[in-house]
Amino acid sequence: MANIGFIGLGIMGRPMAEHLITGGHTLHVSSHHKAPDAELQAKAVTVHPTPKAVAAASEIVILMLPDTPQVEEVLFGTNGVALGLSKGSIVVDMSSISPMATKEFARKIEAQGSQYLDAPVSGGEVGAKAASLTIMVGGPQEAFDKVKPLFELMGKNITLVGGNGDGQTTKVANQIIVALTIEAVAEALLFASKAGADPAKVRQALMGGFASSKILEIHGERMVKRTFNPGFRIGLHQKDLNLALQSARSIGVSLPNTATAQELFNACVAHGGKDWDHSAMVRALEIMANHQVASS
């Protein structure tokens, strides 16, 4: 059993941390960034005042934070993780952040004798609670082998993709596919509804054909039932598509449909939807069509 640092006890981080505790590990967490609630503190958790103190008490430090600036601050800011690491420690960033920044963070951590894995996840709050996350990992094989038993407590589909940054690149690719598939499902159900067909029955029929997908199954149902409480917020998906578009510019790649999906998310945010589930992208299309897929 290991001493594990865990920083970022949010919607997904908290259940992920609980799975590690259930697996028999002792968790070291920071009150500096989202302190644990009383229920979590009653378990095998030690609370420290700073990320530096968490790192000093841990063999492996896991981060689950909102975006690149937060990861950089927790790693390298005042009393950051990097200041508390011992030689041979492993930093595992499970946030979804910039692939290019990840490569730089990894170089800095490795320069002081520690190892770094970028290991973003897919599966949302549901996957975090069910310990069924997909985990996309970039970094050295040796570090991956050491951390894999922890990954297996939090997820099911765990792949070492390549070197540092490749995990984050894979996550960006994942978010492109998810956003464009949500857009396709939204267009299809909006078209069917406006044409006079029952969108629920259209979705049911499509689930048996080549158009079937998890997004048609889960988010198509959300669109029909108008249940847009977040499993994954539009604001977070916006952030991920920004990473895609910024990275694409830097390597000279055009992503026209990704840009369109981002504009639809932007329209949702303009109508107060930053915290809607990302399936609510359909609302932007509904506004343009002056028609809802289904009544509220």
CA 200: distance to chain centroid? 29
Alpha-carbon distance 241 to 235, whole Å? 10
β pairing state of 121-122 and 133-138: antiparallel
Listed in sequence order, the residues at least 6 apart from 205 whose beta carbon sits closer than 8 Å to its beta carbon are none
User: Strand 60-63 to strand 133-138: parallel, antiparallel, or no bridges (unpaired)?
Assistant: unpaired
How buried is residue 145: exposed, middle or buried, by Cβ count under 10 Å (0-12/13-18/19+)?
A: exposed
Choose among 70, 11, 8: nearest CA to 239. 70
Name residue, tokens 């920044």. Answer: 101
CA 42 to chain centre: 27
State the catalytic residue, choosing from 171, 214, 239, 274. Answer: 171
Q: Is 171 a catalytic residue?
A: yes
Q: Which residues does the annotation mark as catalytic?
A: 171
